[in-house]
Structure 1
Amino acid sequence: MPFIDFSGLPWKPRHYLKQQIPEPWRDWLLDSGSLTQRLKHEFDGDFRVQVIRHGTFMPTYSELKFLNNYEQSKATSTSAELAGSFRSRHCSKMASIREVLLICGGRPRVFARSVLPHSSLIGTNRELLQLGSKPLGEFLFNHPGMRRGPFEVAELPARQFNPHLVEKYSDETAWGRRSLFYLHEKSISVCEIFLPDLSGQTEKF
């Protein structure tokens, strides 16, 4: 099953889109606490992680740029030239990529994709390779040395996730966010897409 393509998403700093985010989603997208803990609270503990895939892959150009896991090239280079340059040095850019669905109340509510560069998987950070079906958020927010960077947010068609879902979306919109987490000053990228089915299902709405 192919990866979902996030490469063309117009990611923007959260302050840029804050007023454009629909009210039901704004609180979710801008909440800097543990998403895992919040979902467990909202759904009375009815929470599990369904792993779609977890393995070694090449991050997208957008992810490499977001991670700053590359050398800056000349401003005159095109995106295609940059992407080709990055991929030509792919051995140093490979990452452990994990895609999951967060299932709450028996239904998928969030799609999450984490990108862990191999250069970040040193020391105790290598425990991230052994998560299995455990939530990444619990590991991150229980780590005493963790810090989190600012959010970027974007909207996208929810039907992009249909290959992973039993019940399909048509014209609904999903909202997503991404941020960098730092463990021992090593960065990992976490992207969380809030599926339309989350809205209207919790007590909050």
Structure 2
Amino acid sequence: MGRASRDSLRDWLRAPGSLSKRLAALGTRYEVQVLRQEVTPFRQRERDALGLPRRGCTVVREVILWVDGQPLVWARSSVHQTSLAGPWKALKGLGTRPLGHLLYDDPRVTRSELEPRRLARYGHTRRQMQRQWLAATGELPSPQMLWSRNSVFRRRGAELRVMELFLPALKAYRTRPR
């Protein structure tokens, strides 16, 4: 799968454009496995990133991105539930299609600067990812799976936050399509 290179995980964390397209270029079969999509209370970091009030709910979509049978990325997107009736309503019917189709095929969507972040080793997001990863793959994720990139997408005034958490082994693959 893919060609080894000297690219680092930092290159993946800072790579612009669609992560889905970049991952799909690594192999012959790219898949999105939806782990959950539901309404849930806001997390502090999501509320801050989206500039939302203390109260309210968000719609969360958590997925694993696979290439040729190898899980490489765990991702979480969140949007205020009222945005599902407006600018982000297509999220409801997305299913196993990549979120990137909504984000990069619409010229009205803008993206904030990418923000690499190291997860707390024992934080809530890490524990949630570990449970889901184990259930989906049958294996615990690498203890070194701590680096994520975060960004906010805007469409007609509504914001959608995306966090992508990378398997460390991904650094062995090129960040540019073949």
Tell me whether the two structures share a fold, i.e. TM-score over 0.5: yes
Q: Report the CA distance between 1:203 and its aligned residue.
A: 4.9
In structure 1, C-alpha distance between the alignment counterparts of 2:166 and 2:41, rounded to whole Å: 24
Q: How far is the alpha carbon of 1:170 from its aligned partner?
A: 5.1
Choose from 7, 22, 40 the match for 1:38. Answer: 22
Which residue in the other structure is 1:185 paired with? 157
Q: Please tell me whether residue 101 in structure 1 is matched to residue 64 in structure 2.
A: yes
> CA 1:173/1:143 → structure 2, altered by over 3 Å: closer, same or farther?
same
Q: 2:106 aligns with which of 122, 131, 143?
A: 143
Q: How many aligned positions are there?
A: 161
Pair member with larger Rg: 1
CA 170–39 in structure 1, closer or farther in 2 if over 3 Å, else same:
closer
Deviation at 1:179, TM superposition (A): 0.6
Question: 1:66 aligned to 2:49?
Answer: yes
- Give RMSD over aligned pairs: 2.2
The answer on whether the counterparts of 1:101 and 1:112 sit within 8 Å (CA) in structure 2 is yes
How far apart in 1 are the matches of 2:144 and 2:86?
42
Distance in 1 separating the partners of 2:142 and 2:103: 34
What's the secondary structure of 1:98's corresponding residue? strand
2:50 corresponds to which letter in structure 1?
A: L
Instruction: Measure, in 1, the Cα distance between the counterparts of 2:18 and 2:166.
Output: 14
Q: 1:28 aligns with which of 12, 16, 19?
A: 12
Which residue identity is paired with 1:162?
Answer: Q
CA distance in 2, matches of 1:171, 1:36: 24
The 8 Å contact of residues 108 and 197 in structure 1, kept in 2 or not, is answered as: no
Q: Which has the higher contact order (CA 8 A, sep 6+)?
A: 2
Spell out, residue by residue over 1:149-179, the C-alpha distance to the aligned partner (whole angstroms, 9 max, x if none): 1122112349743322322245424310111
Deviation (angstroms), 1:124 = 4.9
8 Å CA contact 2:14, 2:116 repeated in 1: no
SS of 1:64's equivalent in the other structure is helix
- TM-score of the aligned structures, taking structure 2 as reference length: 0.81
SS in 1 for 2:11: helix
Equivalent residues of 1:155, 1:173 under 8 A apart:
no
Aligned counterpart in structure 2 of residue 123 of structure 1, from 86, 105, 111: 86
* Percent of paired sites with the same residue: 34
**Residue matched to 1:111:** 74
Alignment match, 1:175? 147
Structure 2's unaligned 5+ residue stretches are 1-5
1:102 touches 1:109 (CA, 8 Å); kept in 2?
Answer: yes
